[in-house]
Amino acid sequence: MMKRKVYDVIVVGGGAAGIGVAITLRDAGVDNFLVLERHTVGSSFAAWPDETRFITPSFTTNSVGMLDLNSIAIGTSPAFSIKVEHPTGEDYARYIKMVAVQGELPVQEKTDVLRVSKLGEEFVIDTDSETLRARHVIWAAGEFQYPSLSEFTGSDLCRHTAMIDSYEGLEGDDFVIIGGFESGIDAAYHLATRGCKVRVFDCNCPWEEPTSDPSSALSTFTLERMRDPRFSENVKLYPNTLVHSVTRSGRTHEVSTLDIATMDERRFRTAVPPIMAGGFAGSHKLVMDLFEEREDGFPLLNEDDESTIVPGLHLCGPAVRHDGHIFCFIFKYRMRFAVVAKKIATSLGLPAPLLDEYRNWGMYLDDLSCCGEECTC
């Protein structure tokens, strides 16, 4: 009987987190690994609405010892590769594919992971076509393909931003957007430039948030676009307004809201499905049985971004949390790639000498409290 191959590592996800951590594994000296991708490399980015662009700018700054903000691997730069400062999703998907090809990564596309379990010292990864085994698993499946669709009664009547191919192609001239953070304001801007009337509801007021942390305040790129005269003319913002239901009667959608300050209830009508910009449930929900849960619902991790109850299972990507630190942007969570790679390489008896370079590039984070409670830099 032929002995079944056991990989040292299986990475689930072929996006920014999966390809980025896979390159870091290679730099750590790990060769016996496999990357599993549900669709194709970079497909989540390729599925963005056509008009949506990165809010973080790309610069070719490697010559002064810093990474391009949107880079996922040392020595690479989306700005250099695709010659765009604010890439579209399609642009960025091309960059990720370039990194995977140039890094000669072992990627298996069109493979849907159905279940991850641990049997003794090995992980069993059941896919839609086969069963694989590995000593370690890195869950890096991201969030874009897992939008949040159950925020309130009638959420299913809305159209999530993750399901929109292009704002140019949407029918109608009067839109309601639920959620006023980056994706909601992005949608409002593109519709406003078409001359459409837009109402944006948010339970907070992110466009006036008094912080520079992009995890909770709007980016400069977005604030600049909000100053466009077409935005001011066509968009009405409703801060501190909670949407608690959406109903439909014929072709009319009714949005019921609550003003948090005054407790006044109001109803708004629109002839097109409201646009849901309320974020993502995330792929980590699929493996939460293998993690302890934090109070905020995210996986509890040890200092190596590893499950506290299933040794050998690591998390990479925007769902990574440590105390009050939120690693939701690429330039934040890429700092954890070397932490995970070093832990795995060490457990395999590898010296991982190339990971010293990651420390010099600011991608290796030892002290989460380096300069303030919310700092991740």
Better pLDDT: 152 or 362? 152
Last-in-domain residue among 276, 305, 333: 276
CA 302 to chain centre: 21
Q: Is the pLDDT of residue 362 over 80?
A: no
Beta bridge partners of 243: 257
Please report how many Cα atoms fall inside a 13 Å half-sphere around the Cα of residue 114, on the Cβ side.
7
Q: Does 133 lie in the same domain as 21?
A: yes
Range in 6-10, 98-102, 212-216 with the lowest mean pLDDT: 212-216
pLDDT at 145: 92
- How far from 332 is each of 8, 269, 363, 375, CA to CA, in Å? 26, 40, 9, 10
Over residues 347-368, the mean pLDDT reads 65
Average the pLDDT over 276-292 and give the result: 94
Distance CA 274, CA 339 (A): 41
Q: What is the pTM of this model?
A: 0.92
**What is the chain's mean pLDDT, rounded?**
91
> What is the model's pLDDT at position 359?
62
Whether residue 356 contacts residue 74, with contact meaning beta carbons closer than 8 Å, is answered with no
Do 118 and 188 reside in the same domain of the chain?
Answer: no
Which residue among 244, 276, 308 closes a domain? 276
**Residue range 189-213, pLDDT digits in tens:** 999 999 999 999 999 999 998 887 7
Residue 356, H or E segment: helix 356-360
Could you give the CA distance from residue 306 to residue 94 in angstroms, rounded to a whole number?
A: 30
Is 373 inside a domain boundary? no
Distance CA 342, CA 272 (A): 51
Distance CA 290, CA 308 (A): 9
Domain boundary among 276, 311, 343: 276
- Percentage with pLDDT > 90 across the chain: 82
Residues 284 and 139 in one domain: yes
Confidence check: pLDDT of 106 > 90: yes
Provide the edge-to-edge strand list for the sheet that holds 252-259: 241-249, 252-259, 265-270
Domain presence at residue 376: no
Residue 374: predicted pLDDT: 39
Confidence of residue 149 (pLDDT cuts 50, 70, 90): confident
Quickly state the pLDDT bin for 49 (edges 50, 70, 90): very high
31-45 pLDDT, tens digit per residue, is 999 999 999 999 999
CA 29 – CA 341 distance, rounded (Å): 9
Question: So what's the pLDDT on residue 365?
Answer: 46
Specify whether 135 is located in the same domain as 163. Answer: no
If you count them, how many residues does the chain have?
377
Q: Do the domain assignments include residue 331?
A: yes
Q: Range with the lowest mean pLDDT among 108-117, 143-152, 166-175, 363-372?
A: 363-372
Note the pLDDT of residue 360: 53
CATH code for position 232: 3.50.50.60
Instruction: Clarify whether residues 285 and 270 are in a common domain.
Output: no
209 and 162 inside one domain? yes
- Given a cut of 70, whether residue 100 has pLDDT beyond it is yes
Identify the domain containing residue 339 by its residue range: 6-145+280-360
Give the rounded distance of the alpha carbon of 331 from its chain centre.
11
> Among 12, 21, 19, which residue's Cα sits nearest to residue 41?
19
Q: How confident is the model at residue 366 (pLDDT cuts 50, 70, 90)?
A: very low
DSSP-assigned letter for residue 280: B
Element (H, E) at 335: none
Contact (CB, 8 A) for 239 and 257: no
Q: Are residues 139 and 10 in the same domain?
A: yes
Do 311 and 165 share a domain, yes or no?
no
Total of domains in the chain: 2
Q: Look at residues 35, 30, 26, 36 and name the one whose alpha carbon lies nearest to residue 8.
A: 30
Do 207 and 321 reside in the same domain of the chain? no
**pLDDT of 176:** 98
* Residue 119 CA: distances (Å) to CA of 35, 90, 123, 124: 20, 39, 6, 7
Do 50 and 131 belong together in one domain? yes
Do 118 and 241 have their domain in common? no
356 band by pLDDT with thresholds 50, 70 and 90 = low
Position 213 scores a pLDDT of 76
Q: Could you read off the pLDDT of 230-262 as tens digits, one per residue?
A: 999 999 999 999 999 999 999 999 999 999 999
- Alpha carbon dihedral 298, 303, 290, 121, in 10-degree steps, equals 170
371 assigned to some structural domain:
no
Q: Give CA–CA dist 143/120, Å, rounded.
A: 29
SS3 for 140?
Answer: coil
pLDDT tens for 210-231 read 887 777 789 999 999 999 999 9
- When pLDDT is cut at 50, 70 and 90, the band that residue 369 belongs to is very low
